[in-house]
């Protein structure tokens, strides 16, 4: 169990990260507005799968089970959006 001060600090970091990411969403939308939305969705799903494979290679057995399920979802999601 983590000390309360460390948990509070982690919560602060997570909240700050979420706020920064939320603030960057308009910039992201402006940058990708010239591309086909389907291409963006497929790229995001495929690259998520690649990153999950990296997590599997460097994680323990619990992380591997979770990541394998997420890779399956990425594959299904990518296949659903192909023309």
Q: What is the pLDDT of residue 45?
A: 79
CA distances to 14, 19, 74 from 3, rounded to whole Å, are 17, 25, 36
Whether the predicted pLDDT of 8 surpasses 60: yes
CB 75 within 8 A of CB 49: yes
Do residues 42 and 78 touch, judged by C-beta distance below 8 A? yes
**The pLDDT of residue 43:** 83
> First-to-last CA distance in the chain?
49
Model confidence pLDDT, tens digit, residues 29-38: 888 888 888 8
pTM greater than 0.85: no
């Amino acid at each position: 169990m983590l000390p309360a001060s460390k948990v509070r600090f982690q919560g602060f970091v997570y909240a700050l990260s979420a706020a920064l990411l939320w603030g960057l969403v308009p910039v992201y939308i402006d940058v990708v507005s010239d591309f086909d939305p389907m291409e963006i969705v497929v790229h995001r799903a495929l690259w998520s799968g690649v990153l999950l494979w990296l997590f599997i290679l460097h994680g323990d057995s619990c992380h591997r089970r979770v990541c394998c399920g997420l890779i399956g979802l990425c594959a299904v999601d990518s296949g659903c959006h192909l023309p």
